[in-house]
Amino acid sequence: MADLVRYDVKDRVAVVTIDNPPVNALSPAVWTAIDEAVARGNADAGADAIVLIGAGTTFIAGADIKVFDTLKTAGDSMTRSGGTHALLRRLEDSAKPLVAAIHGNALGGGMEVAMSCHYRVAAADAKVGQPEVLLGIVPGAGGTQRLPRLAGAELALQMCTDGKPVAAPKAKAAGMIDAVIDGDLLIGAIAFAKEKAARRETRKAREIALSAEQVQKGLDAVAAMRQSLAKTARGLRAPFAVADAIEAGLRHGFDAGSTREREIFADCVVSTESKALRHLFFAEREVIKIPDIPKDTPARDITRAAVVGAGTMGGGIAMNYANAGIPVLLKEVDRAALDRGMATIRRNYDVTMSKGKLTAEQVEKTMALITPTLTYDGFDQVDIVTEAVFENIDLKKATFAELATVTRPDCVLASNSSTLDMDQFAQASGRPSQVLGHHYFSPANVMKLLEIVRGRDTSKEVLATSLKLGRRLGKVGVVVGNCFGFVANRMLAYYMREAYLLLEEGASVPQIDKVLTDFGLPVGPYGMQDIAGIDVGARIRQYLASLGKARADGPQSEVPDRVFEMGRYGQKTGAGWYKYDAPGSRNRTPDPLIDQLAAEAAARRGITRRPISDDEILARITTALANEGARILEDGFALRASDIDIVYVYGFGFPRHRGGPMFYADTIGLATVLSRVNEYRARFGDYWEPAPLLERLVAEGRGFYGEAVARV
């Protein structure tokens, strides 16, 4: 225990230092060691007060999330949390003033420990919060009970349902923190604790009484929060569970509220929602670890950038750089296209400003970082160029050859191609080690995914630089292999193929979209196409057809091409898979014409249309994703199943609480997934072929994540 929590006495104050790198997470041993150290402080005649502080960069980032996997049943959790609640009461019952000294973060269980101390002091840049909801759970160590008593039920509800941390000054104003310390935190905390000891003052959050008026205000806030969550948290359990736990404490007092919190926590921690969100928490941290690129691989700082092509994607990419404070040249071939591109950027910033997210001054400052140009002047000064010209291999190869002549030899040359072969660009440039893909998702200034496409010769330094740059641009960078469509679009092709075939077979556009939005996606496949532009996919299909290729195996529905030929490109033309009030409008209505096109296509393929159940739609689409995901994994184009989950969550809004398509397949059980593939093969044809990896995992009784059976 001694190494996890240290005990010293300074100036008649016991200093308990939690030292469990990297974030002082509360493993069972740390909980126990804190308990023992506070008891020692109370028994120590040489100490008049006790200060609890974290070693390293932070106070306590919460309970150790890995430990939750050991809780197999709600009963396990009840036993464990019973012990934790009692332990925190013992801290709170400390006879000597107990002061938490917070720097970095006091999150989750860390905040709950701090609230069980009599007082909290914090560095000015410290943050406190209850982010459990982001892991599909509620605060489980009294947070739903002590926080409303310290900060008021309204703010407590807000913090526990959105999971966002609060900065120390605001936390002080709200009553969560008693003092903000300028200068050395420990010295300030010791002085604060001595003062309390001199006055023999202690204060227990659990004993703070709430007036009838405060209770009523709190209950009103709970009711209002439930209403708002009904709109914003559809399909989730944890945010509503937070409201339940806080309400219990308001109605029935601290002890009954605490018991209810334990029950609710116990249910949540074994839920699929929580397992999925915890899976993503670790997946997000795993994704940056590339086996042959150690942490100490040199990564360049990008101080100046350039983007070639000022279309929708190029403009969005330039905005990413400007938003991160990096000056960027934006090059086009003709003045009109350049002006259009800059006007779109301006419009985007104006929209952000009208929502109050940027001031006029910030917009001007950011816009000033984007320099429009028609020439390569200044390209010899930049550290990276991202090519975002029209998706045509010859044009792109010519662009790379040109870029090699106008940039420094160490300049990174990235392509935003969504389908083409990076190695061909690498060859064209004559400096293959500097070339890779930076595949952004539309709208590029909004979507968080960045596929970092590793070419055959891409250097480790260029990859490390890209990972670092991705973080600076606020993206989640995932290193993927250089296969057709990379990971995101390769899977999307199978997702869309199934959506198109289901339409031909008898489902309708609104039905398919609703099944997917009910599942938790922000938008269904057809709504998404209408936003992205039906012409984009159609042009790629045309290009592939000219090469004798298709995006996905199996029958190709003709309906998307017919819609394209009619000039129905989606929202921008006022019609696509839906009809819109006007071009650019989002107000849509279903269009019987699409059913007619689907019926004609079905007749041509000799298919008798039939009613299709919502279950079949979901099963076929998610099975197609998992089967193709397994192929990608086996072919080595993704490093891990969890990387594929990250790609789909951040690229296409796959619901986080389902964990991603691969995790979701595990929750269904891979044996079920395989039996579906085989069933579809018998019904629809050999293009439904099980991925060998899927067959092997089922034969071995394993899942993508190593478990033998379904997780639900």
Name which of 281 and 376 has its Cβ closer to ligand 3HC: 281
- Exactly one of 35, 48, 92, 112 binds ligand 3HC (CB under 6 A); which one? 112
Burial (CB count within 10 angstroms: exposed 0-12, middle 13-18, buried 19+), residue 653:
middle
Given 92, 112, 261, 505, the catalytic residue: 112
- According to CB under 6 A, which one of 51, 63, 101, 189 is a site residue for ligand 3HC? 63
Phi and psi dihedrals of 101, rounded to 5? -110, 110
- The structure tokens listed for 516 are 């997917």
CA separation for the pair 240, 462 (Å, rounded): 45
Q: How far is the CB of 87 from ligand 3HC (least distance, A)?
A: 11
Q: How far is it, in rounded angstroms, from Cα 581 to Cα 242?
A: 40
Residues 254-293 that bind ligand 3HC (CB under 6 A): 285
139 scored as a contact of ligand 3HC (CB under 6 A): yes
Candidates 131-139, 239-247, 412-420, 536-544: pick the segment binding ligand 3HC (CB under 6 A).
Answer: 131-139
Nearer to ligand 3HC, 85 or 497 (CB): 85
What is the SS3 assignment for 395? Answer: helix
> Rounded to whole angstroms, how far apart are CA atoms 637 and 470?
19
The active-site residue, picked from 92, 132, 504, 505, is 132
Query: Closest approach of Cβ 84 to ligand 3HC, in Å?
Result: 7
Of 2, 22, 356, 548, the one binding ligand 3HC by CB under 6 A: 22
- C-beta closer to ligand 3HC: residue 147 or 534: 147
Minimum CB distance to ligand 3HC smaller for 287 or for 428: 287
Q: Which stretch binds ligand 3HC (CB under 6 A): 31-39, 135-143, 460-468, 624-632?
A: 135-143
Q: How far is Cα 171 from Cα 177, in angstroms, rounded to an integer? A: 6
Q: Is residue 136 part of the contact set for ligand 3HC (CB under 6 A)?
A: no
Question: Site for ligand 3HC (CB under 6 A): which residue of 41, 54, 97, 108?
Answer: 108
Q: CA torsion 688→616→235→516, rounded to 10°?
A: 70
Q: Is 652 exposed, middle or buried (0-12, 13-18, 19+ CB in 10 A)?
A: buried
From 12-20, 57-65, 184-192, 679-687, span contacting ligand 3HC (CB under 6 A): 57-65
> 3-state DSSP call for residue 662?
helix
Site for ligand 3HC in 590-649 (CB under 6 A): none
Identify which range of 59-67, 313-321, 528-536, 642-650 contacts ligand 3HC by CB under 6 A: 59-67
The footprint of ligand 3HC on this chain (CB under 6 A) covers a number of residues equal to: 22
61 forms part of the interface with ligand 3HC (CB under 6 A): yes
700 is catalytic: no
The candidate with the shortest Cα–Cα distance to 648, out of 489, 425, 424, is 489
**Which positions from 284 through 343 interact with ligand 3HC, judged by CB under 6 A?**
285
> What are the C-alpha distances in Å from 441 to residues 320, 347, 411, 650, 694?
12, 19, 23, 9, 28
Q: Which stretch binds ligand 3HC (CB under 6 A): 101-109, 451-459, 610-618, 621-629?
A: 101-109
> Nearest to residue 147, comparing CAs of 120, 169, 125, 182?
120
In the bound complex, what is the minimum distance in angstroms from residue 183's beta carbon to ligand 3HC? 24
Q: Quote the CA–CA distance of 384 and 16 in Å, as a whole number.
A: 48
Burial (0-12, 13-18, 19+ Cβ within 10 Å), 46 = exposed
The only residue of 105, 202, 466, 557 in contact with ligand 3HC, by rule CB under 6 A: 105
CA separation for the pair 474, 324 (Å, rounded): 8
State the DSSP string of 317-383: HHHHHHHTT--EEEE-SSHHHHHHHHHHHHHHHHHHHHTTSS-HHHHHHHHTTEEEESS-TTGGG-S
Nearer to ligand 3HC, 53 or 602 (CB): 53
* Min CB(109)–ligand 3HC separation in Å: 3
Please, which residue, 107 or 319, has the CB nearer to ligand 3HC? 107
Specify the residue, 83 or 235, whose C-beta has the smaller distance to ligand 3HC.
83
CA 600, CA 606: separation in Å to the nearest integer? 10
Across 563-706, the runs of DSSP E, i.e. the strands, are 578-580, 588-590
The C-alpha atoms of residue 152 and residue 155 are separated, in whole angstroms, by 6
Q: Of 128-136, 178-186, 210-218, 427-435, which segment contacts ligand 3HC by CB under 6 A?
A: 128-136
Eight-state DSSP code of residue 23: T
Which range of residues in 21-29, 309-317, 603-611, 688-696 is near ligand 3HC by CB under 6 A? Answer: 21-29
Does residue 65 bind ligand 3HC (CB under 6 A)?
yes
Q: Which two tokens stand for residue 257?
A: 């509220």
Tokens, residue 580: 């819109």
User: Is 92 an interacting residue with respect to ligand 3HC (CB under 6 A)?
Assistant: no
CA angle 160, 136, 251 (to 5 degrees): 45
Clarify whether 92 is annotated catalytic: no
Q: CA 467 to CA 674: how far, in whole Å?
A: 35
Give the whole-angstrom CA distance, residue 596 versus residue 605.
14
Cβ distance to ligand 3HC smaller for residue 131 or 188? 131
> Position 612: which residue type?
I
- When the beta carbons of 66 and 408 are compared against ligand 3HC, the nearer one is 66
Q: Which is nearer to ligand 3HC, 233 or 532 (CB)?
A: 233
| Least gap, CB of 492 to ligand 3HC (angstroms) | 29
Nearer to ligand 3HC, 146 or 196 (CB): 146
- Residues 283 and 646: their CA atoms lie apart, in Å, by 7
Count Cα atoms within 13 angstroms, Cβ side, for 321: 27
Residue 570 carries which DSSP code? B
Which of these segments, 18-26, 92-100, 227-235, 485-493, binds ligand 3HC (CB under 6 A)? 18-26
Select the residue interacting with ligand 3HC from 14, 15, 16, 25 (CB under 6 A). Answer: 25
CB-nearer residue toward ligand 3HC: 249 or 537: 249
User: What Cα–Cα distance (Å) separates residue 393 from each residue in 406, 547, 637?
Assistant: 20, 11, 21
What type of residue is 432? P
Q: Where are the beta strands (DSSP E) in 59-130?
A: 98-102, 105-107, 119-123, 127-129
From 66, 200, 408, 586, residue interacting with ligand 3HC (rule: CB under 6 A): 66
Stretch of residues binding ligand 3HC (CB under 6 A), selected from 61-69, 501-509, 554-562, 574-582: 61-69
Give the residue numbers marked as catalytic.
112, 132
Which positions lie near ligand 3HC, rule CB under 6 A? 22-23, 25, 61-66, 105, 107-109, 112, 131-132, 135, 139-141, 143, 285
